A and B are shown apart, each in its own frame.
Chain A
């Protein structure tokens, strides 16, 4: 399942999407958990009893601020979460 966590507000659309099918047999040893400096990722059991990553609830409402350090206004080329998740499960909408 592609799970989109985040929101749209007056300033833009801020979603992190996770392809949870890739998390089931994570080939990156759950690297998202340690790569994110804000520790926003968490492993949960989904409705089909699979262990998958999601974004912690409080962060889902503050993504644009939480990720600001990784996304300087001068631009960025890589993000720690995306680099660490070698299966390519993580995408950012902004």
Chain B
């Protein structure tokens, strides 16, 4: 499974980072950085929570 961000929607609120810090991080400019675009083993539930938790619906999970 792959993760992608719609940059036109993301406002850098960072809710995703608090749910899945291994994948999402807000950088010094306040922008979201994807540390990887692959779902790491065992983290699917956290990533799903981040996708659901994003207030701007900027995150998406998809098959490759």
A and B interact physically = no
Chain A residues with CB under 8 Å of chain B are: none
